[in-house]
Structure 1
Amino acid sequence: MKAKVLTYGSPTLRKHAEDVSDFSSELVKNLFDTLAVEGGIGLAAPQIGVLQRVFIISTEPLADDDSSVESFKRVVINPEITEVSKEISMYNEGCLSIPELFEMVERPKSIRVRYFDENMNEICRQIDGIEARIFQHEYDHLEGILFVDRISPIRKAIIANKLKRLHRISKNAKRG
């Protein structure tokens, strides 16, 4: 079932998500259903109002456009980033919770991670490229961090009016 994606200005997006102790496959189904309708490549539980440390990744839309991108779907539960590379990369990021806004974001190029999959198997691995980028973006959502928090102060000042408008829209939607 598709869930409503919270947008910039929602206080839930700034809260730290709690570890999952009782995994719900229904939550994952809702995340994938919502992602399919919204057209993104990743979605974290807090973005649909659930403060649990769960996110999903689906590179299918990217793989459809670029044959060099591996197509996969991944469920990530209680993730940890245990190591980051010194080498960084820049990428034009967007977010379903901040519609129609894309900004260049600097992140570590590769990361070592630990998490549980949908079968509660522990996974420890090194990831890089677009998967590392998406993982870090979605991980930030679990920490209450949005990609606009990672852009330069100058760029943030330039987009301040767009962010204020999104915040107003979010407030008005909450009232309605």
Structure 2
Amino acid sequence: MILPIVAYGHPVLREPAKEIDSSYPGLEQLLADMWETMYNSNGVGLAAPQINRSIRLFVVDSLQIINNLEDEEKEDYPGDEGIREVFINAKIKQLDGQEWLYNEGCLSIPKVREDVSRKQTVTLTYLNDAFEPQEKTFTGITARVILHEYDHIEGKLFIDHIKPLKRTLLKRKLDDISKGKIRVDYRMLFPK
């Protein structure tokens, strides 16, 4: 089932999310709904707070980005083959590499894109969808998508990484989003 995406201004996007265990009710269906919602809205990642669930859960499919790069562009991201993965109760263990800028957007903040600086590599501990412990290192665009989604489970948004002046310039657009004055081709849940 396609779920509505929570819009900027909704309090759930600013709450640090809670850990879950394998007894979380309806988790298998929730994951299926998250994948369907993400693909329906042309996303490459989706965190549970974006569908109004304050839990430490997100999904990432960076394969679609990597597979659409030209060969010479792929050379800019060595070691990044892309992934399609579920992350439960993720914790960052280590950040490495150079900071690099990339133009990011967010399904919860539609039609706003900004250059965000993030580290090149991230090592995470997390549980997969079978609740098996994982520790993996990701790089390139995949690391960036993971860090973007990780921010969501920490109650942060990509606009928190931009300079205050730019954020001030975005205030009107952000206010319009939180008031529902935006048109997108996916369902959204706006703050009351």
Aligned to 2:172: 161
Separation in 1, partners of 2:111, 2:63: 20
| 1:59 aligned residue | 62
State the percentage of identical aligned residues.
32
TM-score (norm 1): 0.92
- Runs of 4+ aligned residues of structure 1 deviating over 6 Å after TM superposition are none
Cα distance, 1:81–1:25 mapped onto 2, change above 3 Å = same
Q: How does the TM-score come out when normalised to structure 2?
A: 0.84
Gaps of 5+ in 1: none
Q: Distance in 1 between matches of 2:173 and 2:120?
A: 29
Contact 2:49 2:152 in 1 (8 A): yes
> Structure 1 residues 150, 72: CA separation in 2 closer, same or farther (over 3 Å shift)?
same
**Residue 47 of structure 1 aligns with which residue?**
50
From 113, 133, 139, the equivalent of 2:144 is 133
Over aligned residue pairs, what C-alpha RMSD do you find? 1.8
Quote the Cα distance in structure 2 between the aligned partners of 1:30 and 1:71. 21
Q: 1:86 to 1:58 in 2, by over 3 A?
A: closer
Residues of 2 paired with 1:71 and 1:50: CA distance? Answer: 26
Aligned residues: 174
Q: Helix, strand or coil: the match of 1:120?
A: coil
SS of corresponding position for 1:145: coil
Report the AA paired with residue 152 of structure 1.
Answer: K
Secondary structure of the residue aligned to 1:40 is: coil
SS class of match (1:30) = helix
Uncovered stretches (5+) of structure 2, i.e. residues with no partner: 75-79, 182-188
Q: Provide, for residues 114-161 of structure 1, a one-character-per-residue CA deviation record: whole Å limited to 9, x for no partner.
A: 111111111112211011101110001001101011111121112111
Q: Is the 8 A contact 1:55 1:77 kept in 2?
A: yes
Matching residue's letter, 1:155: K
Deviation at 1:173, TM superposition (A): 4.5
Report what 2:34 is aligned to: 31
Higher share of residues assigned helix? 1
Partners of 1:119 and 1:152 in 2: CA distance:
39
| Contact 1:54-1:75 at 8 Å conserved across structures | yes
